[in-house]
């Protein structure tokens, strides 16, 4: 979203080639179920309007539109035109190429039923969030849902090199900060949950993902620094006898309502 557009330009053609975003993969299915469970009972598929801010390729919203049998297209907002290329091919999606802050300024009162921000909130300048959240609150209809999905502050759960863990923590706020901002913006019934998923994949695949900078954390390093970091991972995280490594992925889901 407000991450470097150049980073997402560089990875757009291989975004779904890794375990975390693979089409039909177990990670995608897990994330999809988390979102579906929180939206399904809260909306009327015949009339609801949903916006995904930081939608990327729109893959996730295409699945949601189909599963919920929505009548209206889902609005997919992203600041990377390259990421939105695939979304533009889906007639069930409406694409808007803007960053989240600018999109917030375009919102009309009572115009949406649900907002989703999935793994993007850490890209927003912290000083922009109070106004942005207030704009989302104004734009939601009564009874509307705002779902933020983010990661825990610490990157210690991941097989990262040390400098990557530092960059992760510097750019990933505590999730309670988001909850407090939602409440200050007028949202009610703010609930925060940590969901975890055990990831097991070939160590070679993980190293390849890091080399390809699949998360924006790795865009902070030049090729030489990243190569050194990969060697650090290779040394510090041994694979099992079959060449696999395991770790726990954690997602924080923050659900808020507008009365």
- % the chain with pLDDT above 70: 93
Q: How many CB atoms lie within 10 A of CB 257?
A: 17
What's the pLDDT at 3? Answer: 46
pLDDT at 19 over 80: no
Q: What is the mean pLDDT of the segment spanning 144-162?
A: 97
The reply to whether the predicted model has a pTM over 0.75 is yes
Helix axes 59-68 and 26-39, enclosed angle (nearest 10): 50
- Per-residue confidence (pLDDT) for residue 40, from 0 to 100: 87
Question: How is the beta sheet containing 50-53 ordered, strand by strand?
Answer: 93-97, 74-78, 50-53, 112-118, 140-150, 244-257, 188-202
What is the residue-averaged pLDDT of the chain? 92
């Amino acid at each position: 979203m407000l991450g470097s557009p150049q980073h997402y330009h560089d990875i757009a053609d291989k975004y779904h080639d890794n375990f975390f975003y693979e089409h039909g993969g177990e990670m995608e299915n897990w994330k999809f179920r988390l979102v579906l469970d929180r939206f399904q009972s809260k909306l009327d598929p015949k009339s609801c309007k949903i916006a995904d801010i930081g939608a990327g390729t729109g893959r996730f919203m295409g699945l949601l539109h189909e599963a919920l049998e929505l009548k209206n297209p889902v609005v997919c907002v992203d600041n990377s035109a390259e990421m939105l290329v695939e979304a533009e091919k889906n007639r069930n999606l409406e694409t808007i190429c803007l960053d989240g802050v600018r999109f917030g300024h375009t919102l009309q009162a009572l115009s949406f039923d649900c907002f989703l921000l999935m793994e993007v909130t850490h890209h927003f300048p912290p000083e922009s969030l109070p106004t942005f959240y207030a704009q989302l609150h104004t734009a939601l209809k009564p009874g509307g849902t705002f779902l933020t999905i983010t990661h825990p502050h610490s990157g210690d759960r991941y097989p990262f090199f040390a400098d990557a863990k530092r960059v992760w923590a510097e750019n990933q706020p505590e999730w309670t900060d988001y909850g407090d901002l939602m409440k200050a913006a007028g949202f009610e019934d703010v609930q925060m949950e940590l969901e975890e998923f055990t990831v097991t994949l070939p160590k070679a695949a993980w190293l390849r993902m890091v080399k390809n900078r699949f998360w924006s954390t790795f865009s902070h390093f030049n090729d030489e620094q990243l190569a050194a970091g990969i060697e650090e991972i290779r040394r510090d995280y041994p694979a099992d006898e079959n060449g696999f490594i395991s770790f726990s992925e954690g997602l924080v889901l923050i659900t808020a309502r507008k009365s």
